[in-house]
Structure formats: structure tokens, C-alpha cells
């Protein structure tokens, strides 16, 4: 079977046709696509999209079908994927030296890329859409939910591990009167948060989480645990426990997958989140053993599909300006990232949620009216 027939047959298993008429079908502009994907796997698929070799009228739904059918497992092991899988086992790909690599590739991009994509606060994690009508409302609902889950009170000090552009710190300081310190490996995020929240009780620091020292009333972390890596999970929770006061709470907001996988998605690793890896609930449970009591876990993975589609709509509306500055290939890369992730969450192969952790158990039990 030649490469075209092989890939066409695989896609058919996911109800995707080559040059079909439905929105999620793919339109091939370069027949070398088939050989490229068979030889290079998902990395070749993504790079071919960036190069304009193929399109889909509904790229997000294409990925929902492809991921849902687990077609990635049918592609042969490429040398690049084999190396990533092996190195993830043998190396600590998220050690202190490597921790800053993701900022160089992703988080230190010029701020206008994120302003064209995210909400007005630049909240780079899943929104909470329960009663929200738009992205800004959904992100503020998420930030408020976090504050309520930890029982935040005026004057309390909160550590935000992986604070991003300061969305949570700014909201907590403005709305709850909190004193916030955040750590991030991105110099651009630190500069932005310092400018935006100047004069407020918001202190962003350029720092690996392992270097933080101090005592806080609560700890929060949103969309950062995916960069920690399984070799560092225990260290991560030990650090959080060491800085948290006895009566405090730790809210962990993270993507997770239903089973451990040695496969690292090479396109995401190369272009978006180098060294990133998704935990399982079981890995979190093992890593917190003897350190924290898991008071609550809320799974709202379906909300990330909607969040990513809102981000994609925002970016699409700014496409001409973004293409004029960064080029068409960058825009196709960014679009591929947002659509592929949206499809992944829609397929329910990945989820996102929030753990509420306490050092010794909340007396009488933890409760929240959501």
C-alpha cells in the first residue's frame, strides 16, 4: 500500500475524507503530504499545515475525529518521536536549566500575539463557562472561583506558581484585597505584569518555582503543572507544602489525561510547549501522598474546547495584522495549535480541572457552593 492509500484509509476510520465535501474533510494542495505524514508522523502533519500543503474547513472538528479515533497510535514510530519518548524516561526534561526553554519558544512571544488571542486580562488557561456569556466573563468567573475555593480574605498573601501575565494576581488584589506574589520563567510576563499592576499588591518574579522561599496563606497554580514533568512532581508539591501555612489551601488547575502515555506529541513539543507533559489524576495522587489531603477535584474539560474556540475566533479576527507582522506561516502555526487542542478536549481524550488540597484536612470538611 502506498503512502496515499495508507493515509486515506487511516483517515476513513475517523470519518474524514481526502478532498471530501464535508467541513471537517481535508483538502490536499500538495500530494507530497502523504509521504511526509507517513514518514514524519504528527510532526509532518503539523508542519505540512504550516506550509500550506493542506487545509480543513473545520480544523477543530477534524482533530476531534482524528484524536477520538486514536489515529496517532497507528503511525509508525519516527526517529524524532522515539528520541522524545526515550529522553523523557532517561532525562529530567524539566530540570532547572531546561525550565526556561518554554518561555523562549512560547511565553516570550511579543505581547500583541496574546492580546490578539486571549481575554482582556490575558488569562492563559481554561475559562469557566457555567454562567458566562463571553470570554471575559468566563475568565473572571474562573478567577473568582479560584478565590472562593481557597477562601481568600483581605490581606492574605497568595503565591501564584506560573503566574503568567498576572491575571489571577491582579484580580485577587483588586477584588479580594489580597497580597500576591507570582513566579514565572518568562521575562516578558514579568515585565507586562509589573507595568499593568504597578502600585498594586502584585509582585511578579522571574524565577523557577523551586527557588521560591517564604510563607504564604494560600498557593494557586493555573496552567503551569503541565510544564513540571513526572520526575519533578514530588518536588513541586514539596515546595508548595513548605511555603504554605498550616490552615492554608493549595488550588491546582491543570490539564490531565486518563492514562499515562510515553508518547510526547512532537509538533507541540517543537513549536508550542517544549518539554511539556500531561499528568494523570493518579500521578497527582501519588505525588501528594503524605503532603496534602485532596479535598476536591472538579473536572470541566468541556470548557477548554469552548475557551480555545473563543481564542481562535479572536485570533482569526486579527489575522491580517498578525500575518503582516509575523507572516502567514506563523499564523497557520498558531491556528493549528488552537484548533488541534480544541479538538483534543472535544474528543474527551484530555481534560482539565481543579484540585483543592489542604495540608492536614479541613476540619469538618471542605465545602463550596459552585
Does the annotation count 180 as an active-site position? no
Residues 6+ apart with CB under 8 A from 186: 103, 107, 108, 164, 206
pLDDT band of residue 1 (cuts 50, 70, 90) is confident
Candidate from 41-50, 81-90, 164-173, 281-290 with smallest mean pLDDT: 81-90
In a domain, 42, yes or no: yes
Average pLDDT of the residues in 217-236: 95
Q: Are 61 and 24 in contact (CB under 8 A)?
A: yes
Q: Do 115 and 8 share a structural domain?
A: no
Q: Are 354 and 146 in contact (CB under 8 A)?
A: yes
| CATH label of the domain that carries residue 220 | 3.40.50.150
pLDDT at position 80, please? Answer: 59
In a domain, 225, yes or no: yes
pLDDT at position 86, please? Answer: 47
pLDDT at position 202, please? Answer: 98
Higher pLDDT, 60 or 102: 60
Q: Do 133 and 52 share a structural domain?
A: no
- Of 23, 55, 81, the residue that ends a domain is 81
Q: List the beta bridge partners of residue 255.
A: 352
Q: Single out the residue of 295, 168, 141 nearest to residue 223, CA to CA.
A: 168
Average pLDDT of the residues in 336-342: 98
pLDDT at position 170, please? Answer: 98
Q: Do 208 and 110 share a structural domain?
A: yes
Residue 94 pLDDT > 70, yes or no?
A: no
Residue 243 pLDDT > 60, yes or no?
A: yes
pLDDT at position 77, please? Answer: 52
What percentage of the chain reaches a pLDDT higher than 70? 91
- Of 32, 60, 81, the residue that ends a domain is 81
Q: Single out the residue of 230, 255, 223, 225 nearest to residue 349, CA to CA.
A: 255
Q: List the beta bridge partners of residue 354.
A: 253, 298
Q: Do 13 and 119 share a structural domain?
A: no
pLDDT at position 82, please? Answer: 52
Residue 165 pLDDT > 80, yes or no?
A: yes
Cα gap 1→27, rounded to integer Å: 21
Long-range contacts of 80-87 (CB under 8 A, 24+ apart): 80/40, 80/41, 80/43, 80/266, 81/41, 81/43, 81/263, 81/264, 81/266, 84/264, 84/266, 84/269, 85/262, 85/263, 85/264
In a domain, 201, yes or no: yes
Q: Do 290 and 159 share a structural domain?
A: yes
Q: Please name the residue ranges forming H helices in the chain.
A: 3-13, 32-50, 59-68, 79-90, 101-102, 111-115, 135-149, 167-176, 187-196, 233-243, 266-271, 281-287, 302-317, 319-326, 328-346
pLDDT at position 75, please? Answer: 64
Residues 6+ apart with CB under 8 A from 88: 229, 262, 264, 277
Number of domains in the chain: 2
pLDDT band of residue 85 (cuts 50, 70, 90) is low
In a domain, 294, yes or no: yes
Our measurement of the distance from residue 139's CA atom to the centroid of its chain's CA atoms, rounded to an integer in Å, reads 15
Q: Do 262 and 232 share a structural domain?
A: yes
In a domain, 317, yes or no: no
Q: List the beta bridge partners of residue 160.
A: 182, 220
Q: Do 230 and 104 share a structural domain?
A: yes
Residue 79 pLDDT > 80, yes or no?
A: no
Q: Do 125 and 44 share a structural domain?
A: no
Catalytic residue among 147, 180, 331, 341, which? 341
Residues 6+ apart with CB under 8 A from 304: 126, 255, 341, 342, 345, 352
Residue 134 pLDDT > 60, yes or no?
A: yes
Cα gap 178→158, rounded to integer Å: 7
pLDDT at position 72, please? Answer: 74
Higher pLDDT, 63 or 100: 63
Q: Do 206 and 95 share a structural domain?
A: yes
pLDDT band of residue 70 (cuts 50, 70, 90) is confident
pLDDT band of residue 369 (cuts 50, 70, 90) is low
Q: List the beta bridge partners of residue 222.
A: 253
Higher pLDDT, 15 or 370: 15
What is the tens place of the pLDDT at every residue in 225-234?
999 999 999 9
pLDDT at position 314, please? Answer: 98
Average pLDDT, the chain: 92
pLDDT at position 67, please? Answer: 94
In a domain, 95, yes or no: yes
Q: SS3 sequence, 104-143?
A: HHHHCCCHHHHHCCCCCCCCCCCCCCCCCCCHHHHHHHHH
Query: In terms of residue numbers, what domain contains 168?
Result: 87-301+350-358
- Of 81, 114, 142, the residue that ends a domain is 81
Residue 52: helix, strand or coil by DSSP?
coil
Kindly calculate the radius of gyration of the chain based on its CA atoms and give it in whole angstroms: 21
Cα gap 147→300, rounded to integer Å: 17
Average pLDDT of the residues in 289-303: 97
Average pLDDT of the residues in 141-147: 98
pLDDT at position 87, please? Answer: 54
Q: Do 93 and 36 share a structural domain?
A: no
In a domain, 208, yes or no: yes
Q: Do 126 and 269 share a structural domain?
A: yes
Q: Do 164 and 123 share a structural domain?
A: yes
Cα gap 150→152, rounded to integer Å: 5
Q: What is the DSSP letter of 13?
A: H
Q: Are 189 and 204 in contact (CB under 8 A)?
A: yes
What is the tens place of the pLDDT at every residue in 303-320?
999 999 999 999 999 999
Residue 90 pLDDT > 50, yes or no?
A: no
In a domain, 331, yes or no: no
pLDDT band of residue 88 (cuts 50, 70, 90) is low
pLDDT at position 293, please? Answer: 98
Amino acid at each position: 500500500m502506498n503512502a496515499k492509500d495508507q493515509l486515506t484509509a487511516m483517515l476513513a476510520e475517523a470519518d474524514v475524507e481526502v478532498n471530501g465535501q464535508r467541513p471537517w474533510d481535508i483538502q490536499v494542495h500538495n500530494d507530497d503530504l502523504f509521504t511526509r505524514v507517513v514518514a514524519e508522523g504528527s510532526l509532518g502533519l503539523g508542519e505540512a499545515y504550516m506550509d500550506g500543503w493542506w487545509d480543513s474547513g473545520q480544523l477543530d472538528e477534524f482533530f476531534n475525529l482524528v484524536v477520538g479515533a486514536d489515529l496517532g497510535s497507528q503511525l509508525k514510530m519516527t526517529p524524532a518521536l522515539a528520541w522524545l519518548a526515550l529522553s523523557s524516561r532517561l532525562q529530567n526534561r524539566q530540570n532547572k536549566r531546561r525550565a526556561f526553554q518554554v518561555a523562549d519558544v512560547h511565553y516570550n512571544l511579543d505581547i500583541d500575539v496574546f492580546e490578539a488571542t486571549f481575554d482582556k486580562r490575558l488569562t492563559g488557561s481554561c475559562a469557566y463557562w457555567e454562567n458566562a456569556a463571553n470570554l471575559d466573563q468566563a475568565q473572571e468567573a474562573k478567577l473568582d472561583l479560584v478565590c472562593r475555593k481557597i477562601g481568600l480574605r483581605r490581606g492574605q498573601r497568595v503565591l501564584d506558581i506560573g503566574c503568567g501575565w498576572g491575571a489571577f494576581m491582579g484580580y485577587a488584589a483588586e477584588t479580594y484585597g489580597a497580597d500576591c506574589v507570582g513566579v514565572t520563567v518568562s521575562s516578558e510576563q514579568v515585565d507586562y505584569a509589573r507595568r499593568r499592576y504597578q502600585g498594586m499588591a502584585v509582585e511578579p518574579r522571574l524565577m523557577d518555582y523551586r527557588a521560591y522561599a517564604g510563607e504564604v496563606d494560600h498557593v494557586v497554580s493555573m496552567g503551569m503543572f503541565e510544564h513540571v514533568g513526572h520526575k519533578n512532581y514530588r518536588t513541586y508539591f514539596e515546595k508548595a507544602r513548605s511555603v504554605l501555612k498550616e490552615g492554608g489551601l493549595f488550588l491546582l488547575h491543570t490539564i490531565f489525561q486518563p492514562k499515562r502515555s510515553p508518547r510526547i506529541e512532537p509538533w507541540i513539543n517543537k513549536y508550542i510547549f517544549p518539554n511539556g507533559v500531561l499528568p494523570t489524576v493518579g500521578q497527582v495522587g501519588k505525588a501528594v501522598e503524605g503532603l496534602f489531603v485532596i479535598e476536591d477535584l472538579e473536572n470541566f474539560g468541556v470548557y477548554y474546547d469552548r475557551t480555545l474556540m473563543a481564542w481562535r475566533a479572536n485570533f482569526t479576527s486579527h489575522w491580517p495584522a498578525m500575518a503582516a507582522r509575523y507572516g502567514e506561516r506563523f499564523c497557520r502555526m498558531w491556528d493549528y495549535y488552537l484548533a488541534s487542542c480544541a479538538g483534543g478536549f472535544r474528543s474527551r481524550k484530555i481534560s482539565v480541572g481543579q484540585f483543592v488540597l489542604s495540608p492536614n484536612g479541613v476540619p469538618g470538611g471542605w465545602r463550596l457552593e459552585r
